[in-house]
Amino acid sequence: MQHTVAFICLAASAAADVTFSRTFSQLLSGTSGTVDLAPAGTCSGSDDFGANDCTLKWGTNYTVNYDATLPKAIDEGFKVNVDATIDSLLPLKFSCAACGADCTFTVPVVGKQVTIPAVACPLVPAGETKGSKVVPLPAKSPLPVGASMKGSVTLVDGTGAVMGVVTIDAKIA
């Protein structure tokens, strides 16, 4: 979940605020939880999975509070597959390890290489896990232009079985 928030912050980068909404689907049976963002007022909506319809401001630290129950640990062998479109035109597709290795991809046209630092495995242990993580947004966008992005982030286990899908719609305010 922390990886997803970091990806949204970086992939939807521009010179103004980043806004996004998301939906969860195809969750593995036994999966539940919520993710909320602080400070208060960051998100204007919520659903069964927590905060939604959020606006992030450059140069601000956000606290991601999570409470999740998973039927199995997100560990070595798990992958995050991104299938998105930038500005309704440019495809952005890549796959990275869910944990244990940096995730590096190149944003089309501008050629900007983005690296999301690795988090240790397991990303999330099996069973219930609660916690919080401070995610600092850079002082300014790492990209030279504004953008919008729509697509999905799919978490798969080592066999390729889908653990869950997050559909995102991110824009520059």
Per-residue pLDDT tens over the stretch 15-51: 358 999 999 999 999 999 999 999 999 999 999 999 9
Query: Are the CB atoms for 32 and 69 separated by under 8 Å?
Result: yes
For 145, which DSSP code? S
Q: Which has more pLDDT, 110 or 33? A: 33
For 96, which DSSP code? E
**Is the pLDDT assigned to residue 1 strictly greater than 70?**
no
**Is the pLDDT assigned to residue 14 strictly greater than 60?**
no
Q: What is the mean pLDDT of residues 61-78?
A: 95
pLDDT, position 142: 72
Q: Which residues pair with 27 in a beta bridge?
A: none
Which secondary-structure segment (H or E) carries 5?
helix 2-11
Across 2-16, 64-78, 106-120, which has the greatest mean pLDDT?
Answer: 64-78
The residues, ordered by sequence, that sit 6+ positions from 134 with a Cβ below 8 Å of its Cβ are 61, 62, 63, 64
Phi-psi region of 38 (alpha: psi -120 to 50; beta: other; left: phi over 0): beta
Q: What is the pTM of this model?
A: 0.81
Q: What is the mean pLDDT of residues 100-104?
A: 95
